[in-house]
């Protein structure tokens, strides 16, 4: 699009100078000001209720009505004092965003009495009319009721003038309709199994939590440009666009200085995040132009995930104020780095130990090795499930592309830890060890922190990498709810630890000493899960071949990957660990494939609309100009001169004609493919048809449009180009 037109648009959405409401105080003065956290509970609740509620939260026990009433009263008093007029149950339906329904605190009785109405009942449970949220068939219209129920483990907070209460969302029949319910269940399963494992080493451990530190990548797009790109507005990604002459080749953006306007945006959303008690810590530019990242300090996984969704929301809102649109799509621009949400994950005890951090004693390191090896094994056995947990229409464009981990799930441990596991494999055997052998092994195990200290190799090509004191699940997409991969990972590791505990117990009961039993089981696991460990370049072709030889799966197709949600193996796993019932699993499968199909359907329609209404007419206009020009040349030049001079133009006219015909032809064929797909009776068939019959046209049509973009007069081109989208700030 001609620059002058873009300028005009920019003026239209004039960029007023934005006053950041920068509090004069230091962040520590306003941190958490909008959260009903412990200090506020202490202030607004009686000592007795405060102790009861904190105890119930810590031990995940039931909160009775009397306590709920008191908590509601305290919460209400605090919220109204902070200027809140409404309250809402805030939950995570099976979409990519959160949902809420606001009710006013104020109630007026039929006789005109005014009172503020919010009690234990309203805190604990609500029945939102959310019948249009996806349920995967769990809620038929005759039993359409869904309930939200208070999650006391995540504190209530105020956004604007509304008190938001984090809740789970379940059906009338008690089935999960959200992400939070199974996330909490998976955390409980992990707690149970991991605490038991910890008891092998330390009897004081009574609880294990999962920790999550997410790194959120995103693009910032100028609002004026965004509004001139219908594809961005409707699908969150560009469906066409030729690569900019300059993009990320120079890699000068990464960690470069942050542009002023962006800085202002970041400063403001961070202030908002701080007020909500979200410990955002790092901010920097990412690899691609206009791409950035923010990351908080890690927290307990359920809270961290609430905070991630909340931050995404805050960013969207603050972005608008700064005339930016925040893109969380995994691959908004072809050929340009996509956006991930790296999930840094670990487990921690109530005694303050990070279970994936090597200690400085042989005993703590045995515990570390136990959790490390069990996690590796869990990832190996459940690779397809983990993959299914992160695939989506958006992430499909990112994964497997040159800058993102491939579809193959593998684990990176680093040279020294790999060597350590190889060593254990060789030195432990089923024969009892001699005291000398034992001492030597213990000494070596005790040395782990030393070797890790200089373990600086960080493999960025691995989808699941150990990074010194945690695993980093890097295949997670930027736009989705991290609960999905966290549910899969927690459940897989919980089951694995459960099996481990059993095996150690069985072996011990045959007279093998406990520490030897642990070592023997670990050795067996190390051997069994060797195939999933990969230290090399995950982006390379050789790895694909090698992975196949090792029997690892490489499921690139989204509908195929999602089938794991109905594979017997995983349905059983979730049932056994009481995380999702078979019916709930199936519902999730339905929701996921349906969502994938809908995204493709929308993209297909938007692409065809733009191709036919924007691109083809523009190309014809330019072609007509060329034809006029050639006609004129014919008039003024001799036949020979005309032949020499007009040939390049004639070629161009032919080229444009060809692209126009192809675009029209392919768009029509795509429409027919869509029609055929829509007529198929089964949802699963429809999805497959969309993936294999409709989607391939996207690239074909785009190819011709992008070619036209290069030859058609820039002044006529109807859409902002990559260079304008990516380099404006
Ligand atoms: P990098 O970009 O090098 O991967 P960052 O500092 O951007 O690292 O992000 C690392 C993330 O990992 C942060 O959110 C950090 O709090 C988190 N993290 C650190 N330790 C743990 C842990 N034990 N459990 C979960 N997350 C952790
Ligand atoms: Mg990282």
Check pocket membership of 211 for ligand 1, CB cut-off 6 A: yes
458 close to ligand 1 (CB < 6 Angstrom): no
Task: Indicate whether 394 and 509 sit together in one domain.
Answer: yes
Q: Are residues 370 and 469 in the same domain?
A: yes
Is the shortest distance between the CB of 299 and ligand 1 below 6 Å? no
Residue where a domain terminates, one of 175, 198, 218 = 175
Contact, 719 vs 625, CB < 8 A?
Answer: no
State the closest ligand 1 atom to the C-alpha of 212, by its place in the atom list counted from 1: 25
Torsion sign over Cα 521, 524, 529, 530: positive
Alpha-carbon distance 277 to 296, whole Å?
11
- Ligand 1 pocket mutation, candidates 295, 346, 368, 465, criterion most atoms within 8 A of CB: 295
Residue 461 Cα to ligand 2 midpoint, Å, equals: 11
For the record, the structure tokens of 256 come out as 């470069």
Question: Is 13 part of a structural domain of the chain?
Answer: no
Closest CA to 300 of 215, 210, 214, 186: 210
Is residue 568 classed as helix, strand or coil in its secondary structure?
A: helix
Q: Quick check: helix, strand or coil at residue 479?
A: coil
| Residue 507: CB atoms within 10 Å | 19
Find out whether the beta carbon of 254 lies less than 6 Å from any atom of ligand 1.
no
- Does ligand 1 have an atom closer than 6 angstroms to the CB of 308? no
CA separation (Å) from 472 to 111, 419, 499? Answer: 60, 20, 24
Ligand nearest to the CA of 286: 1
The bound ligand whose nearest atom lies closest to the alpha carbon of 470 is: 1
- Ligand 1 neighbour 473 (Cβ under 6 A): no
Pick from 221, 214, 211: which is nearest to 294 by CA? 214
Q: What is the pLDDT of residue 3?
A: 46
Kindly state if the Cβ of 297 falls inside 6 Å of ligand 1: yes
**Per-position DSSP letters for 651-710, written without gaps between them:** HHHHHHHHHHHHHHHHHHHHHHHHHHHHH-SSHHHHHHHIIIIITHHHHHHHHHHHHHHH
- CA 211 – ligand 1 centroid, Å: 10
Task: State the first-to-last Cα distance of the chain, in angstroms, to the nearest integer.
Answer: 17
Which residue minimizes the CA distance to atom 2 of ligand 1? 215
Residue from 296, 463, 470 to probe ligand 1 pocket by mutation (most atoms less than 8 Å from CB): 470
- Ligand 1 within 6 A of CB of 213: yes
- Give the number of whichever ligand sits closest to the CA of residue 284: 1
* Average pLDDT of adjacent 10-residue blocks, the chain of 729 residues: 46 42 72 95 94 87 86 93 93 86 81 80 79 73 72 94 93 89 97 98 96 96 95 97 71 60 92 95 79 95 97 96 96 93 97 92 89 98 97 88 77 90 86 81 79 64 91 95 97 98 96 92 96 92 93 93 96 98 95 95 98 98 96 94 92 97 98 97 95 97 97 96 84
Q: How many domains does the chain have?
A: 3
Is 542 part of a structural domain of the chain? yes
Domain with residue 154: its CATH number is: 3.10.20.70
32 within ligand 1 shell (Cβ under 6 A): no
Residue from 201, 212, 193, 146 nearest 471 by CA: 212
- Same domain flag for 288 and 393: yes
Instruction: Please check whether residues 144 and 205 belong to one and the same domain.
Output: no
The domain boundary residue, chosen from 554, 580, 606? 580
Predicted pLDDT of residue 14: 40
Mutate to test the pocket of ligand 1, among 216, 286, 344, 412 (most ligand atoms within 8 A of CB): 344
Last residue of a domain, one of 529, 555, 580: 580
46 lines ligand 1 (CB under 6 A): no
Q: Do 494 and 194 touch, CB atoms closer than 8 A?
A: yes
Looking at the CA of 295, name the nearest ligand: 1
**pTM score, whole prediction:** 0.93
Report yes or no on 22 lying in a domain: no
Which residues lie across from 399 on neighbouring strands?
none
The reply to whether 561 and 604 lie within a common domain is: no
446 in any annotated domain? yes
User: Does residue 551 sit in the same domain as residue 653?
Assistant: no
Cα dihedral: 705, 706, 708, 709 (round 10): 120
Please name which ligand lies nearest the alpha carbon of 345: 1
Has residue 453 been placed in a domain? yes
Q: Separation of 295 CA from ligand 1 center, angstroms?
A: 8
Are 352 and 465 part of one and the same domain?
yes
Residues 168 and 194 grouped into a single domain: no
Is the CB of 296 inside a 6 Å radius of any atom of ligand 1? Answer: yes
Is the shortest distance between the CB of 469 and ligand 1 below 6 Å? yes
Is the residue at 310 inside a domain?
yes
**Rounded to the nearest whole angstrom, what is the distance from the C-alpha of residue 281 to the centroid of ligand 1?**
10
Same domain, 167 and 196: no
Which ligand neighbours the alpha carbon of 468 most closely? 1
Asked if residue 25 belongs to a domain, the reply is no
**CATH number of the CATH domain containing 648:** 1.20.120.1560
Strand partners for 236 = none
- Does residue 182 sit within a domain? no
What's the pLDDT score for residue 22?
53
Query: What pLDDT score was predicted for residue 348?
Result: 98
| Same domain flag for 142 and 269 | no
Task: Assess whether the C-beta atom of 349 lies below 6 angstroms from ligand 1.
Answer: no
For residues 488 and 611, state if they share a domain: no
Q: Is 599 a pocket residue for ligand 1 (Cβ < 6 Å)?
A: no
Distance 407 CA to ligand 2 centre (A): 18
Which residues are 170's β-sheet partners?
Answer: 147, 176
> Is there a single domain that holds both residue 604 and residue 528?
no
Q: What is the pLDDT of residue 403?
A: 63
Give the number of the atom of ligand 1 that is nearest the alpha carbon of residue 293. 7
CA of 99 to the centre of ligand 1 (A): 28
DSSP character at residue 566: G
Whether 345 lines ligand 1, by a CB cut-off of 6 Å, is yes
Q: Kindly give the number of the ligand 1 atom that is closest to the alpha carbon of 342.
A: 4
CA 213 to centroid of ligand 1, rounded, Å: 5
Atom of ligand 1 nearest to the CA of 296: 14
Tell which atom from ligand 1 comes closest to the C-alpha of 282: 7
Quick one: which H or E segment has residue 472?
strand 471-473
What's the CA gap between 213 and 343, in Å, rounded? 6
For 668, the domain range is: 595-726
């Amino acid at each position: 699009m001609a620059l002058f037109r873009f300028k005009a648009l920019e003026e239209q959405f004039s960029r007023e100078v934005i006053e950041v409401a920068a509090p004069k105080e230091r962040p520590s003065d306003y941190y958490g000001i909008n959260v009903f956290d412990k200090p506020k509970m202490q202030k607004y609740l009686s000592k007795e209720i405060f102790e009861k509620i904190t105890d119930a939260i810590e031990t995940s026990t039931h909160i009775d009505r009397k306590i709920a009433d008191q908590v509601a009263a305290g919460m209400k008093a605090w919220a109204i004092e902070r200027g809140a007029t409404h309250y809402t149950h805030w939950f995570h339906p099976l979409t990519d965003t959160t949902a809420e329904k606001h009710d006013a605190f104020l109630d007026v009785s039929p006789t005109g009495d005014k009172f503020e109405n919010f009690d234990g009942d309203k805190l604990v449970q609500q029945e939102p009319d959310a019948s249009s949220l996806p349920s995967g068939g769990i809620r038929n219209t005759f039993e359409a009721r869904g309930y939200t129920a208070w999650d006391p483990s995540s504190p209530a907070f105020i956004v604007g003038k509304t008190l938001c209460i984090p809740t789970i969302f379940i059906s009338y029949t008690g089935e999960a309709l959200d992400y939070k319910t199974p996330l909490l269940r998976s955390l409980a399963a992990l707690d149970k199994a991991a605490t038991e494992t910890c008891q092998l080493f330390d009897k004081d451990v009574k609880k294990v939590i999962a920790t999550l530190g997410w790194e959120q990548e995103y693009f910032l797009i100028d609002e004026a440009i965004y509004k001139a790109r219908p594809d961005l507005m409707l699908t969150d990604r560009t469906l066409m666009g030729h690569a900019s002459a300059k993009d990320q080749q120079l890699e000068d953006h990464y960690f470069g200085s942050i542009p002023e306007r962006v800085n202002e945006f970041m400063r403001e959303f961070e202030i908002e995040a701080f007020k909500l008690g979200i410990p955002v810590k790092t901010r920097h530019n990412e690899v691609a132009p206009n791409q950035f990242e923010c990351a908080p300090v890690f927290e307990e996984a359920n809270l961290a995930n609430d905070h991630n969704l909340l931050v995404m929301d805050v960013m969207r809102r603050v972005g608008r104020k700064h005339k930016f649109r925040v893109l969380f799509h995994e691959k908004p621009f072809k050929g340009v780095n996509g956006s991930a949400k790296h999930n840094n994950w670990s487990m921690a005890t109530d005694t303050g130990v990070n279970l994936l951090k090597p200690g400085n004693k042989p005993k703590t390191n045995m515990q570390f090795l136990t959790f490390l090896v069990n996690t590796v094994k869990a990832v190996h056995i459940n690779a397809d499930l983990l993959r299914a947990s992160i695939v989506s229409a958006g992430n499909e464009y990112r994964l497997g592309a040159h800058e993102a981990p491939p579809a193959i799930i593998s684990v990176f441990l680093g040279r020294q830890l790999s060597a350590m596991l190889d060593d254990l494999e060789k030195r432990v055997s089923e024969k009892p060890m001699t005291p000398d052998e034992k001492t030597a092994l213990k000494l070596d195990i005790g040395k782990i922190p030393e070797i890790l200290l200089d373990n600086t190799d960080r493999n960025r090509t691995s989808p699941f990498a150990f990074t010194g004191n945690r695993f980093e699940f890097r295949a997670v997409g930027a736009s989705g709810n991290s609960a999905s991969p966290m549910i899969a990972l927690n459940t897989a590791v919980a089951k694995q630890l459960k099996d481990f505990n059993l095996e150690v117990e069985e072996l011990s009961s045959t007279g093998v000493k406990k520490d030897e039993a642990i070592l023997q089981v670990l050795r067996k696991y190390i051997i069994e899960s060797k195939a999933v460990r990969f230290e090399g370049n995950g982006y390379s072709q050789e790895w694909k071949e090698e992975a196949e030889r090792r029997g690892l799966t490489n499921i690139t197709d989204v509908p195929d990957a999602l089938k794991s949600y109905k594979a017997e193996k995983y349905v059983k796993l979730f049932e056994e660990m009481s995380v999702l019932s078979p019916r709930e699993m199936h519902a999730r499968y339905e929701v996921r494939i349906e969502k994938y199909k809908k995204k493709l359907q929308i993209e297909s329609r938007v692409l065809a609309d733009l191709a036919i209404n924007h691109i083809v007419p523009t190309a014809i206009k330019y072609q007509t100009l060329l034809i006029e020009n050639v006609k004129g040349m014919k008039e003024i030049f001799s036949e020979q001169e005309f032949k020499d001079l007009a040939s390049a133009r004639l070629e161009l006219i032919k080229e444009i004609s060809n692209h126009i015909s192809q675009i029209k032809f392919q768009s029509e064929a795509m429409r027919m493919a869509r029609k055929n797909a829509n007529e198929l009776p089964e949802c699963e068939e429809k999805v497959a048809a969309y993936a294999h019959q409709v989607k391939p046209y996207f690239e074909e049509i785009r190819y011709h449009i992008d070619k036209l973009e290069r030859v058609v007069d820039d002044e006529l081109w109807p859409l902002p180009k990559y260079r304008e989208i990516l380099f404006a700030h």
